[in-house]
Amino acid sequence: MQINSVSIVGGGAWGTALAQTLAHGGIKVTLWAREPEVVDDINERHVNRTFLSGVSLNPAIRATTDLSAVARADALLAVVPAQHLRSVMGKLAKQLAENTPVIICAKGIEQATGRFMGDVLEEAAPQVLRAVLSGPSFAADVARGLPSALTLACRNETTGRALTAALSSRQMRLYWSSDVLGAELGGAVKNVLAIAAGIVEGRGLGASAHAAIVTRGFAELRRFGEAMGARPETLLGLSGLGDLILTCGSAQSRNMSLGRALGEGRSLGEFLGARVSVAEGVYTCAALVRLAHEKGVEMPIAEAVHGIIEGRLLVDEAITALMQRPLKAED
Ligand SMILES: NC(=O)C1=CN([C@@H]2O[C@H](COP(=O)(O)OP(=O)(O)OC[C@H]3O[C@@H](n4cnc5c(N)ncnc54)[C@H](O)[C@@H]3O)[C@@H](O)[C@H]2O)C=CC1
Ligand SMILES: O=C(CO)COP(=O)(O)O
- Beta strand 148-153 with 129-134: parallel, antiparallel or unpaired? antiparallel
Task: List Cα–Cα distances, 223 to 181, 229, 232, 287, 299, in angstroms.
Answer: 14, 10, 10, 16, 8
| Sheet strands (E) in 109-237 | 129-134, 148-153, 172-177
Residue 133 CB–ligand 2 contact under 6 Å:
no
pLDDT at 2: 87
Domain annotation for the chain: domains and CATH numbers: 5-178 (3.40.50.720), 189-324 (1.10.1040.10)
Q: Quick one: the chain helix, strand, coil %, rounded to 5?
A: 55, 15, 35
pLDDT at 1: 80
Given a contact cutoff of 8 angstroms between Cβ atoms, the answer to whether 194 and 248 are in contact is: yes
Residue 51 CB–ligand 1 contact under 6 Å:
yes
Given a contact cutoff of 8 angstroms between Cβ atoms, the answer to whether 149 and 175 are in contact is: yes
Residue of 71, 214, 187, 53 whose CA lies nearest to 132: 187
Which of the 8 DSSP states describes residue 63? E
* pTM value > 0.95: yes
Question: Which ligand minimizes its atom distance to the CA of 244?
Answer: 2
**Which residues contribute to the annotated binding site for sn-glycerol 3-phosphate?**
107, 135, 137, 190, 243, 253-255
Question: Which ligand minimizes its atom distance to the CA of 243?
Answer: 2
Which of the 8 DSSP states describes residue 28? E
Closest atom, ligand 1, to C-alpha of 253: 3
Measured in Å, residue 231 CA sits from the centre of ligand 2 at 22
Q: 125-145 b/e with 16+ CB inside 10 Å = b?
A: beebbbbbbbbbbbbebbbeb
Strand partners, 116: 109
Measured in Å, residue 11 CA sits from the centre of ligand 1 at 7
> Choosing from 28, 91, 94, 190, which is the catalytic residue?
190
Distance of CA 171 to the CA centre of its chain: 19
190 catalytic residue (yes or no): yes
**Which residues contribute to the annotated binding site for NAD(+)?**
10-15, 139, 254
Please enumerate in sequence order all residues whose Cβ is within 8 A of that of 291, keeping only pairs 6 or more positions apart, or say none: 109, 114, 224, 228
Question: Which ligand minimizes its atom distance to the CA of 275?
Answer: 1
DSSP string, 182-215: HHHHHHHHHHHHHHHHHHHHHTT--HHHHHHHHH
pLDDT tens for the 331 residues of the chain, in order: 889 999 999 999 999 999 999 999 999 999 999 999 999 999 999 999 999 999 999 999 999 999 999 999 999 999 999 999 999 999 999 999 999 999 999 999 999 999 999 999 999 999 999 999 999 999 999 999 999 999 999 999 999 999 999 999 999 999 999 999 999 999 999 999 999 999 999 999 999 999 999 999 999 999 999 999 999 999 999 999 999 999 999 999 999 999 999 999 999 999 999 899 999 999 999 999 999 999 999 999 999 999 999 999 999 999 999 999 999 999 8
Instruction: Give the count of alpha carbons within 13 A of 47, CB side only.
Output: 7
Type of residue numbered 185: L
Cα 70 from Cα 61, distance rounded (Å): 13
pLDDT at 252: 96
Identify the sign of the CA torsion 214, 189, 83, 35. Answer: positive
Longest dimension (CA), the chain: 60
Residue of 271, 263, 272, 216 whose CA lies nearest to 244: 216
Residue 148 CB–ligand 2 contact under 6 Å:
no
Residue 243 CB–ligand 2 contact under 6 Å:
yes
Cα 135 from Cα 150, distance rounded (Å): 5
Given a contact cutoff of 8 angstroms between Cβ atoms, the answer to whether 312 and 289 are in contact is: no
Residue of 260, 284, 257 whose CA lies nearest to 199: 260
What is the radius of gyration, based on Cα positions, of the chain? 19
Classify the complex by whether its ipTM is higher than 0.95, answering yes or no. yes
Given a contact cutoff of 8 angstroms between Cβ atoms, the answer to whether 166 and 228 are in contact is: no
Residue 15 CB–ligand 1 contact under 6 Å:
yes
Cα 25 from Cα 170, distance rounded (Å): 9
